Chain A
Amino acid sequence: MTKTNLSRRQFIQTAAAATGGLMLGFHIPVSKAAISMAKPIASMPEGVEINAWLSIDPSGLVTIRIPHTEMGQGGITSVAMLIAEELDVEWAKIQCVFADANRHVRNNKEYIVMSTHGSQLVRLQHPHLMQAGASARERLKEAAAQAWGVQRSALEAKQGVLRSGNRTGTYAEFATAASKIKLDKEPAIKTPDQWTLLGKPKQRMDIPHKVDGSAQYAIDTRIPGMVYAAVKASPAPWGTLKSYDFDAIKNRPGVIAAVELKAVPGKRGQPDMQNAVAVVADSWWRAKTALELMPIEWDAGVAAKTSNSSYYAEGRRALDTKGTITKDDPKAIEIIAASKKVISADYERPFETHARMEPINATVHVQKDRVDVWSPTQDQSSAVLLVAEQLNVDPKNVFAHTMYLGGGFGGNGAGGTAVTRQAAEISKQVGRPVKVLWSREEDIAQDKQRPMGLARLSASIGENGLPTAVFTRAAWFTQDKMNQVGPATADYPIFEMPYKFPQRHHDRHNLFTHIPSSTHRAPGANQMGFMQESFIDELAIAGGWNPLDWRIEMTKDLPDYQLVLKTLKEKAGFRTDLPKGQGMGVAVVECHGTIAAACATVTVSRRGELAIEKVVIVLDAGHVINPHAAAEQAEGSVVWEMSHAWLGGLELEKGQFTNTNFDTYNLMRINQAPQVETYFASSGGKKWGGLGEPAGPPTPPAVANAIWYATGKRVRSTPFVSHDLSWT
């Protein structure tokens, strides 16, 4: 349970206080809201609200309000499944709409949590979502029990029908009465052995909207009277705007205004604005073209001296000096210093960017008595608060509309990035609804990036070929103290390595950069997993061990690791004796409570061309509620991580990024994508891990380890494409 979860007692009070069926989208044209449903319906649902999460209409149609966002991770379907499991209703009788973020804020976090991040929708939110369904079911039963003069315990509720002896009635018949019932005690939610719906694969409910162009993303928002803004912020983040010449472009067709946006000194968090200038016009194309033609002068300040190579040099120097200790066994350093056999290696990774396919955008309409916001955020309730703060208005008057997200990947949290503030500010200044859209170049240049990082790993090897002590030192480039301990930069995978090292020393440096950082799918694990698990192969092989057997041996007291690694051994057929040019590699990384292991099979041509043939993934998340969506997430995570490790890497020159579109910042394409096979080795019990991210981190090291077997070359930095992998 999270801190934000309510106790049962609080739950009853909260649910009882929620009266009135405020449906999503009542104040905007229905066709413009992102609505998802199990089957098409002609109009917005009417019905009786049983609690904030659901209503039932006279035909028995259940409308579930989804407090979370849909980025393709199956959030809509997961919430519907969790509630339907308890409510016990026909799957075909369910439709979903997004919950109202304003209601959540106005009614003191009515939906408990609206943010969607950290692979936590299912693992952390399932108790209160299932509770909402269970509570509604018991209230329906109580309403029927009272009408029929029987005890509630004598009633059965199944697939939308209430039954006691010969008497039957539908949920719809008793919905109105149930909405007035207060339960003395909330029912317990089902345990996994009682599930009938959860755990079985379900096709995602959002898919039909995503094959005909009808799914509405924030970028698709169209409001009567709307104008468009293109924005340019300082190319070197946090630089200052020296001058711009609006006169040079103001007579171009459709151009309306230029608006200067100012960073607030000291405010450099995820949703804070850079110094920037916007051009507003009657179409985005006209705004963007005019902006590109407008003379603008920037001052990058001291950041102008930074580059990838200056940062790597600084990071390498840091690896030679003592850092802040995260774990320190008394003899670790001593043992390594005295050992005859020590393996040591340095690893490096550049900045990476989210590059969600939907470029960053937001539409805001500032009106006299209310503000409406359409933004691609992973947390629409934060968007309400963010805009309220920016405009200094009461959050009760801010309405954030949940839209489908064209990818999130950790980059759209905290209310949807600085673009939301920009749109609020511009709408206020021009007095019209405005859609701010960042060009792809702006999207990459101004993203909150995954930090650049380096690490040194050393270990001493004993008689049996196993390590006697381990030493690691990480160095991260982060923008400020706030981010130094945040998950974006956490080296937890290293200092929490599951392997039974007799002695260990871990420390780290936080080095300053002006580049803003943020969470990035599988934060921490995504960078460190590669460094840690590549080094583990170096260590195991130096000790004469098969790397998979080494991992099994070094986690022998951890049953969940044993389950995952032994399943991988059985499913992947890992072998070390393939002909040169072919190789297999393994790795295991824990992230968001889930253990993920990967086995990659690669071929490398003599000329050094890499092909990733296949990746087998084994996951232990404890439980899996929708294996279909979970497998999709594993497949996607593999491609996501390999994109960065193989092809990615932002290039910084004079304080600004130079590869800011897909011709130079390369992402994996279909001809490069491996076949992914996913297996769930679920340990069950009280463990609930996330599934949206963890399959990513073990993939790059599995591929790097496979490359070593194929070529004899050890890849210690990314992107792999920058290494000569040729062999003879």
Chain B
Amino acid sequence: MALSLDINNATHSVDVEPETPMLWVLRDTIGLTGTKYGCGIAACGACTIHLDGQPVRACQTPASAAVGKKITTIEGLSKDKKHPVQQAWMEIGVPQCGYCQSGQIMSAAALLSKRRDPSDLEIDAAMSGNICRCGTYQRIRQAVHLAAKKSNL
């Protein structure tokens, strides 16, 4: 069955089982590999994308549930890494292996769209669903604050 999906402002028609998780539609059907597989059970956040601006775990989001919604992936967050979160991530040098960072950045961007200047506690609450095995957490915290400053300029 063909489903019509609005991904990063482009319409894609995909022929998949409606229960197929968005993660695999993005990665294997469409070829947007920036969204990562980490656990498959919404426990690590590596696959975080935005549905109508809300952060969701793509591994637990059936394709059918994304129909009619605006899907944003890391590839569509900005043109040329211009989003304040991406800018802050580069300035602080957050990523190490980088594998979880698409998800971290998507979670941070969603947080900043709701909270202009989040506290450490708010950052912890919004970001604790995203595991970073390299342990870049203190730089993530620092970079979210910096991104908030950049967004509010």
Q: Which residues of A contact B (CB under 8 A)?
A: 71-73, 203-204, 206-217, 219-220, 222, 228, 253, 283-285, 355-359, 404-409, 437, 439-440, 628, 632-633, 635-640, 643, 661-663, 667-671, 673-676
A356 CA / B96 CA spacing, docked (Å): 12
| B125 near A635: Cβ-Cβ < 8 Å | no
How many residues on chain B are close to A (CB under 8 Å)?
60
A636 CA / B41 CA spacing, docked (Å): 25
Report which of B24, B29, B74, B93 forms a contact with A204, defined as CB distance below 8 A.
Answer: B93
A143 to B: closest C-beta gap in Å = 38
Known: A206-B98, A406-B100, A670-B128. 5 other contacts (CB 8 A): A206-B95, A217-B99, A408-B97, A636-B136, A669-B129
Interface string of B21-58 (1 = CB under 8 A from A): 10010011101111111111101101000000000000
**Which A residues lie within 8 Å of B138 (CB)?**
635, 673-676
Q: Which of B82-130 contact A (CB under 8 A)?
A: 86, 89-90, 93-102, 105, 123-125, 127-130
Query: Is B66 engaged at the interface, CB distance under 8 Å to the other chain?
Result: no
A293 to B: closest C-beta gap in Å = 14
A662 CA / B128 CA spacing, docked (Å): 13
| B34 near A214: Cβ-Cβ < 8 Å | yes
Query: When A209-B98, A210-B98, A440-B38 are in contact, do A357 and B44 touch as well, CB less than 8 Å?
Result: yes
- 29 A-B pairs, CB-CB below 8 angstroms? A206-B95, A207-B93, A207-B95, A208-B90, A211-B81, A211-B105, A212-B34, A212-B78, A213-B74, A213-B75, A217-B99, A220-B33, A356-B97, A405-B97, A406-B36, A407-B99, A407-B134, A440-B38, A440-B40, A632-B93, A636-B135, A639-B134, A662-B39, A663-B39, A663-B41, A670-B130, A670-B140, A673-B135, A673-B137
A638 CA / B138 CA spacing, docked (Å): 11
A579 CA / B8 CA spacing, docked (Å): 54
**Nearest 9 interchain pairs by C-beta:** A213-B34, A639-B135, A72-B96, A406-B99, A210-B98, A72-B97, A673-B137, A213-B74, A210-B95
Taking CB as reference atom, which chain B residue is nearest A677?
Answer: B138
**Which B residues lie within 8 Å of A667 (CB)?**
131, 133
**Which A residues lie within 8 Å of B140 (CB)?**
670
Query: Is B70 engaged at the interface, CB distance under 8 Å to the other chain?
Result: no
Report which of A211, A222, A228 forms a contact with B33, defined as CB distance below 8 A.
Answer: A222
**Which B residues lie within 8 Å of A357 (CB)?**
36, 38, 44, 46, 97, 99-100, 131-134
From A210, A216, A358, residue with most partner B Cβ within 10 Å: A210
**Which A residues lie within 8 Å of B21 (CB)?**
285
Taking CB as reference atom, which chain A residue is nearest B96?
Answer: A72
From A285, A358, A633, A636, residue with most partner B Cβ within 10 Å: A285
Taking CB as reference atom, which chain B residue is nearest A220?
Answer: B33
| A662 near B41: Cβ-Cβ < 8 Å | yes
Report which of B40, B81, B96, B129 forms a contact with A208, defined as CB distance below 8 A.
Answer: B81
Taking CB as reference atom, which chain B residue is nearest A636?
Answer: B135
Taking CB as reference atom, which chain A residue is nearest B97?
Answer: A72
A661 CA / B120 CA spacing, docked (Å): 28
**Which A residues lie within 8 Å of B125 (CB)?**
671
Q: Which residues of B contact A (CB under 8 A)?
A: 16-17, 20-21, 24, 27-29, 31-41, 43-44, 46, 73-75, 77-78, 81, 86, 89-90, 93-102, 105, 123-125, 127-141
Report which of B24, B28, B93, B102 forms a contact with A213, defined as CB distance below 8 A.
Answer: B102
| A628 near B36: Cβ-Cβ < 8 Å | no
A346 to B: closest C-beta gap in Å = 30
A628 CA / B93 CA spacing, docked (Å): 9
| A439 near B40: Cβ-Cβ < 8 Å | yes
**Which A residues lie within 8 Å of B139 (CB)?**
632, 635
Query: When A72-B134, A283-B28, A670-B141 are in contact, do A211 and B86 touch as well, CB less than 8 Å?
Result: yes
B84 to A: closest C-beta gap in Å = 11
**Which B residues lie within 8 Å of A214 (CB)?**
34, 75
Report which of A358, A637, A674 forms a contact with B36, defined as CB distance below 8 A.
Answer: A358
Report which of B46, B136, B141 forms a contact with A632, defined as CB distance below 8 A.
Answer: B136
B87 to A: closest C-beta gap in Å = 8
Taking CB as reference atom, which chain B residue is nearest A358?
Answer: B99
Main secondary structure of the interface of A (DSSP, over half): loop
| B128 near A283: Cβ-Cβ < 8 Å | no
**Which B residues lie within 8 Å of A207 (CB)?**
89-90, 93-95, 98
B117 to A: closest C-beta gap in Å = 18
Query: When A359-B38, A670-B140 are in contact, do A71 and B43 touch as well, CB less than 8 Å?
Result: no
A220 CA / B105 CA spacing, docked (Å): 19
**Which B residues lie within 8 Å of A220 (CB)?**
27, 33
Query: When A210-B101, A213-B102 are in contact, do A669 and B73 touch as well, CB less than 8 Å?
Result: no
| B28 near A284: Cβ-Cβ < 8 Å | yes
A215 CA / B105 CA spacing, docked (Å): 14
**Which B residues lie within 8 Å of A203 (CB)?**
90, 93
A208 CA / B89 CA spacing, docked (Å): 9
**Which B residues lie within 8 Å of A669 (CB)?**
128-131, 137
B26 to A: closest C-beta gap in Å = 10
From B27, B31, B46, B93, residue with most partner A Cβ within 10 Å: B93
A727 to B: closest C-beta gap in Å = 25
Taking CB as reference atom, which chain B residue is nearest A40?
Answer: B80
Taking CB as reference atom, which chain A residue is nearest B35?
Answer: A213
Taking CB as reference atom, which chain B residue is nearest A439?
Answer: B40
Query: When A228-B28, A661-B43 are in contact, do A212 and B77 touch as well, CB less than 8 Å?
Result: yes
A635 CA / B95 CA spacing, docked (Å): 12
Query: When A284-B24, A285-B20 are in contact, do A215 and B134 touch as well, CB less than 8 Å?
Result: no
A71 CA / B105 CA spacing, docked (Å): 19
B152 to A: closest C-beta gap in Å = 20
B69 to A: closest C-beta gap in Å = 20
**Which B residues lie within 8 Å of A359 (CB)?**
37-38
Taking CB as reference atom, which chain A residue is nearest B101?
Answer: A210
Query: When A212-B86, A283-B28 are in contact, do A73 and B96 touch as well, CB less than 8 Å?
Result: yes
**Which A residues lie within 8 Å of B36 (CB)?**
217, 219, 357-358, 406
Taking CB as reference atom, which chain B residue is nearest A675?
Answer: B138
| B33 near A213: Cβ-Cβ < 8 Å | yes
**Which B residues lie within 8 Å of A204 (CB)?**
93
A208 CA / B82 CA spacing, docked (Å): 11
A632 CA / B140 CA spacing, docked (Å): 12
**Which B residues lie within 8 Å of A210 (CB)?**
95, 98, 101
B72 to A: closest C-beta gap in Å = 12
**Which A residues lie within 8 Å of B136 (CB)?**
632, 635-636
Report which of A228, A407, A661, A663 forms a contact with B97, defined as CB distance below 8 A.
Answer: A407
| A662 near B24: Cβ-Cβ < 8 Å | no
A212 to B: closest C-beta gap in Å = 5
Taking CB as reference atom, which chain A residue is nearest B73?
Answer: A213
